[in-house]
Amino acid sequence: MNVQFRDRPEPASSASVKTAIADCDIHPARATRDELYPFLARRWHGHLETFGVHAYQGMMEGPPYPKTQPNASRRDAWPPEGGQQGSSLSFMQKQHLDPNNVALGVLNPLGATGQGMRNHDLSAALATAINDWQIEKWTSKDSRLKASVVVANEDGMAAAAEIRKRAGDRNFVQVLLLSRNVEPLGQRRYWPIYQAAEEAGLPVGVHAFGFGGNPITASGWPSYYIEEMVGHSQCQQTALASLVLEGVFERHPKLKMIMIEAGFGWAPSLSWRLDKVFEKLHGEVPHLKRKPSEYLRDHIFWTTQPMEDPERRDHLFDVIDWIGWDKLLFATDYPHWDYDEPSRVLPAGVSDANREAFYLTNALKLYGIS
């Protein structure tokens, strides 16, 4: 018997994850506010220091933080060298990528990345900077990591230009949007984004959150963070209904989209409801050639974290059977506080083939990684 003394515990063990996994939602952070400056023209340094970022939404610094834990992150994820959680590649490797056997990690930068800003020139400049920063600091230093093309979401033409600039660059595997925008995501102002993404062969990820200037629930601003958390599903339902009914998938038959961090248990009922009203109201949207549920099933992928956790696991499996085991992408949300531990997240009773699809091969196939 030995008594070992350590100042801190080792990172939590994940020894039961033996096979490689894809993590489709990792959040890299900037260690300091000026970390993007080398990638931004000098005029924007002065602009940021003088005017700051002007978002569509007031209190931009308010809603995201604090959320249960500092920076909405795991308390054990502060890098030892300092800086915000998620800002250290070496610590991310040691705490997450290596022990969890992450073969593919998709980066989704959040915060002041240019999305949701009223100054569209600044929005485009920040988006370009964050994309260059992802290559310089992350993907060029660890081949497991892949970047998202962050775009000036409210300026469709600028967003499309950024996507075309990155097309064919294998550092990037998807275009990143957020779920809260000025208008529902199927609206015409966003169409150039889908056109460029389809041409580039990149799926479009829609991550929960964002700064659209509207209340974060459909009936106004809630009192509690817990309401905001469950509100993400209604926001993504609105986005999906808009994408389908505006004909985005009819126009772009090869376009794939990924709903990130808003759950998926509600997907079947949304589809049933859409199909039911479509029977009666299809005259309003004659550009749709198929039932809404068919577009959703063919075009939409879903990341886990959060995964619904019903008392009876067969209820969860029923939902997944409806969605398709080939449409789920595993995600941890590292380093955020609601992180899902890979070895604990999937209930028992899943076939080996479905398990492998869930943890790895669906993502490799969708992102075109061999």
Partner 1 sequence: MTRHVIAPVDELPPGTRKFLTIDERPIAIFNINGEFFGLLNRCPHQGAALCEGPLIGLAQSSNPGEIEYTRHGEILRCPWHGWEFDIRTGQSYCDPKKFRTRAYPVNVEPGSSVVKGPYVAETLAVSVESDYVVVDL
Using CB under 8 A, which residues numbered 309 to 368 contact partner 1? 337-341, 343-345
Using CB under 8 A, which residues numbered 61 to 80 contact partner 1? 68-69, 74-76
Name which of 32 and 68 has its Cβ closer to partner 1: 68
Name which of 64 and 213 has its Cβ closer to partner 1: 64
The answer to the question of residue 254 lying near partner 1 (CB under 8 A) is: no
d(CA 160, CA 197): 8
- Point out which span in 2-10, 114-122, 240-248, 321-329 binds partner 1 (CB under 8 A): 2-10
82 burial level (CB within 10 Å; 0-12, 13-18, 19+): exposed
Tokens of 319: 């939902």
Residue 346 CB, nearest approach to partner 1 (Å): 12
The answer to the question of residue 234 lying near partner 1 (CB under 8 A) is: no
Residue 309 CB, nearest approach to partner 1 (Å): 11
* Beta carbons of 267 and 327 less than 8 angstroms apart: no
* Beta carbons of 367 and 104 less than 8 angstroms apart: yes
Using CB under 8 A, which residues numbered 104 to 143 contact partner 1? none
Name which of 225 and 272 has its Cβ closer to partner 1: 225
Exposed e or buried b per residue across 11-25, where buried means at least 16 C-beta atoms within 10 angstroms of its C-beta: eeebeebeeebbbbb
Binding-site size, partner 1 (CB under 8 A)? 27
Name which of 1 and 351 has its Cβ closer to partner 1: 1
In one-letter notation, the amino acid at residue 358 is: F
Name which of 74 and 207 has its Cβ closer to partner 1: 74
The answer to the question of residue 6 lying near partner 1 (CB under 8 A) is: yes
Helix (H) or strand (E) holding 102: strand 102-107
Whole-number CA gyration radius for the chain: 20
Name which of 197 and 345 has its Cβ closer to partner 1: 345
d(CA 256, CA 310): 28
Dihedral through CA 238, CA 241, CA 246, CA 248, nearest 10? 100
The answer to the question of residue 13 lying near partner 1 (CB under 8 A) is: yes
* Beta carbons of 73 and 86 less than 8 angstroms apart: yes
The answer to the question of residue 3 lying near partner 1 (CB under 8 A) is: yes
Backbone phi, psi, residue 172, to 5°: -110, 135
Exposed e or buried b per residue across 98-109, where buried means at least 16 C-beta atoms within 10 angstroms of its C-beta: ebbebbbbbbbb
Residue 78 CB, nearest approach to partner 1 (Å): 10
- Point out which span in 5-13, 132-140, 150-158, 261-269 binds partner 1 (CB under 8 A): 5-13
The answer to the question of residue 226 lying near partner 1 (CB under 8 A) is: no
The answer to the question of residue 11 lying near partner 1 (CB under 8 A) is: yes
Residue 75 CB, nearest approach to partner 1 (Å): 3
d(CA 336, CA 325): 25
Name which of 116 and 342 has its Cβ closer to partner 1: 342
Name which of 29 and 55 has its Cβ closer to partner 1: 29
Q: How many C-beta atoms surround the C-beta of residue 308 within 10 A?
A: 14
> What is the binding site for partner 1 (CB under 8 A)?
1-14, 68-69, 74-76, 337-341, 343-345
